[in-house]
Chains A and B, each alone.
Chain A
């Protein structure tokens, strides 16, 4: 059974601080996606990483896929209250198009 563990589970920080969320597994994934979910809504895609070691930037968000494609991280610089939400990683099993989601990191950014 493939599992994706995210850490931390909860994070409450002040506006302007930096943070990193981790997504770890013992399994190899062909790709990994990061989503953000707000209350009462479905998750919305932030980014997809495919190649081991790949780094992608989306404004203040930096995503990295581990060299072995078993883990990923999301770094937010100068967090803002609008970044508040549930962050989810999702790994795809090679060739199956089946996505397994991580345990989630709930972020709250205080003004």
Chain B
């Protein structure tokens, strides 16, 4: 169990550019979650997957955000035409899918849009 890993740890981009983040969950975890967190606040739900199926995408999320989990293992989160308001920590978590199983989080990708 190597834990959830996220890449990159930090990303600085200019407004209008596209960015893509990667998350590798704990192996055999069938659920994968993406959250966004700003300083001192609780994580905001973005989307989650069961295997390769995307179960829900937050209605607060604009069409510039898209996530995939093509083979039910790693996942990518893409933000197109980034805006300064997208600056935040993007957290990925996975769980085994059993009832009441905990979310195991990665250490996040910190995005700064200049």
Chain A positions near chain B (C-beta within 8 angstroms): 4, 6, 31, 33, 35, 40-45, 48, 50, 86, 88, 90, 92, 96-104, 106
Contacts and interface: CB of A to CB of B under 8 A. Distances in A.
B42 A102 contact: yes
Interface in B37-81: 40-45, 48, 50, 55-56
A98 B55 contact: yes
Interface of B: 4, 31, 33, 35, 40-45, 48, 50, 55-56, 91, 93, 95, 97, 99-100, 102-103, 105-108
Contacts of A43: 43, 91, 103, 105
A42 B23 CA distance: 13
Contacts of A35: 103
Contacts of A44: 105
A72 to B, nearest CB: 14
Nearest to B105: A42
